[in-house]
A and B are shown apart, each in its own frame.
Chain A
C-alpha cells in the first residue's frame, strides 16, 4: 500500500511546481515586451476599500458566533471519526454492535439537541 502512496508523493511535487510555475511566469512577463512594469504609486499599493481611503485597522472584530461553530465542528468531527471504524467492521459485529452504534448516534443527536436548546445554533 505504501507503493500506491508513493505515487501520490510524486504527484505532490507536480502539484506544488505547477502553481509556482504559473505565478512566476506571470511575474516574469513584466520583463518581456508584452507587459512592461508599471511604476508603483501610493494609490496603487493601497488596499481596496471601494475607492476611499481605509479607516482604522483592517483586522477588525468579527462575530463571536464563529467560535461556536468551530467548537461544534470539532466535537462532531471527532465523534464521526469514531464511527468510521465501526462502519468498516460492521459485518462482523452483529446486532449487538448495531445497537451500540445506534446508541452512539443517539448521543450525537442529544448533543445537537442540547446545542440547539442552548441557542448555540442561532445566528443573531
Chain B
C-alpha cells in the first residue's frame, strides 16, 4: 500500500518519531547484523509507544484522571495529598502495591493462580503492536490487524476464568462465570459491528483503515454511528467497566474473580484493566475516529499526538459513563446483549452492505454518496434504535395503569418538597 509522503526524513521532524530511531537501526543493520536490527526494531517501537503513550496514559489518565474526574462527578476532590494536586499518587500506588505481600490460600490451585496474571497481562502488551501511531510508526503492520486485535483482546477472559477457578472461593467462581458469560455475549455484536467497517473500508489492516478515512475525508464513526455506539457499549461490557461490572460487583460478590488476589498480582490485574481500556480506546480512535489523520491537520500537528488525544477523548467517555450510570443486573445485561444489540447489529450490517453495493456503482460521485450515506445512517441509527427499544420496552408490567407518587409508594420525600 502506498503511503502518502507528507513527512520528511530529517531527524528533527518530530511529526514522525521513526526519524529518530531509523538511523540507529540502519547503523546496526549495516555494520553489525541485520538479524539484530530485526530484533531491535520492535523493541524500540515497543519502548517508544510505551514512553509516549502507554505509561503516561496509564498513570495520568487511567489512574489519576479517572479518580480525579469521578471525584469531581461525585462532588469530591479526588486524590489531592501526594504531591501538588495529588500528581504523585499513581506512582505512590505502584510502589505500595509492589511492597505488599501476596497471599495465597492453602486450598488454592497455586500454579494456575500464579499463571493467571501472566496470561492476563501478555495480550495487553501485544494489542499495542498493531495500532498505527503514524504513517510509519507501527510496530507490526500486519494485514489482518483487525482480526488479530479481536482475537487477542478476547484472551483475557481466559485469564479471568483461571483466576476465578483457582481461588477456590465461591465468590471468585461466580465472578468468573459471570465475566465469561458477559464477555462472550457482547463479543457477537462487537464482531458484527466490526464486520460492517471491514465491508465498507475493504481491508482488515488498521493502517489501511486510517488511510481509507484519510483518502475520503470522513470518519467511519460519522459514517456508521450505530457501529460506533455498539462498539462502545460492547467494549465497555467486555472490559468490565462500571455500568456493566457485575463480574466484580462488590455489593453482591465480594470482588468477583479477584477476591483471593492481593499485592502485585492484584496490581497487575488492576493495572492491565486500564491497559485494556486504553488499547480499546486507541483501537476505537483508529477505526472510528480517523486514527492519526485529521482532515489535513496531521500535516502540522504530529500524527501520534492526534491519536493520543483521540484516545484520551474516548477514554474520557468511559470515565463519564462510569461516574454517571448505576450498575445493571446480570439478566438485564444478558437480555440487552442478545435482544437489543444483536438485532441492531444485524440491521446495521445489512444497511451498510446495501450502501456499499450502491457505492461501488457510483463512479464519479463517490464523495457525494459518502456524504449522503452519512446523513442516511444518522437518521436510520436514530430510527432503528428508537423503534427496537420501543418494541422491546413496551411491556404491560413496565407501564402501571395508574401513576403513583413517591410518597404513596413508600419512598422518602424531603421536608418542604411535599406534593399537595
A49 CA / B191 CA spacing, docked (Å): 38
Binary contact readout B78-119 vs A (1 if CB under 8 angstroms, 0 otherwise): 000000000000000000011111111111100000100110
Q: Which residues of A contact B174 (CB under 8 A)?
A: 62
Answer yes or no: B46 CB below 8 A from chain A CBs: yes
The residue that A84 contacts in the complex, of B168, B173, B195, B335, with Cβ under 8 A, is B195
A interface residues, tally (CB under 8 Å): 69
| A42-B105 Cα distance, complex, nearest whole Å | 9
User: Contact residues of A with B, CB < 8 Å?
Assistant: 1, 4-8, 10-12, 14-16, 18-20, 22-23, 25-27, 29-30, 34-35, 37-38, 42, 44-50, 54, 58-60, 62-63, 65-66, 69-70, 72-73, 76-77, 80, 83-84, 87-88, 90-91, 95, 98, 101-102, 105, 108-109, 112, 115-116, 121-124
Chain B residues in the interface with A (C-beta under 8 A): 38-39, 41-43, 45-46, 97-108, 114, 117-118, 120-126, 129-130, 139-143, 147-148, 165, 167-171, 173-174, 177, 180-181, 184-185, 187-188, 191-192, 195, 198-199, 202, 204, 254, 259-260, 263-265, 267-268, 330-331, 334-335, 338-339, 342-343, 346, 349-350, 353-354, 356-357, 360
The verdict on A123 contacting B331 (CB below 8 Å), with A48-B259, A58-B168 known, is yes
User: Known interface pairs A48-B169, A76-B188, A90-B199. Does A123 touch B330 (Cβ–Cβ under 8 Å)?
Assistant: yes
Given A46-B105, A121-B339, 10 other A-B contacts at CB below 8 A?
Answer: A7-B41, A15-B125, A19-B122, A48-B105, A49-B171, A72-B338, A80-B192, A84-B195, A122-B335, A123-B335
A46 engages B42 (CB within 8 Å):
no
Residues on the B chain within 8 Å of A47, using CB = 105, 107-108, 167-169, 260
Query: What separation, in Å, do the CA atoms of A63 and B334 have in the docked complex?
Result: 13
Tell me the dominant secondary structure on chain B's binding face. Answer: helix
Residues of B within 8 A of A60 (CB): 170, 173
Residues from chain B with a CB closer than 8 A to the CB of A121 are 334-335, 338-339
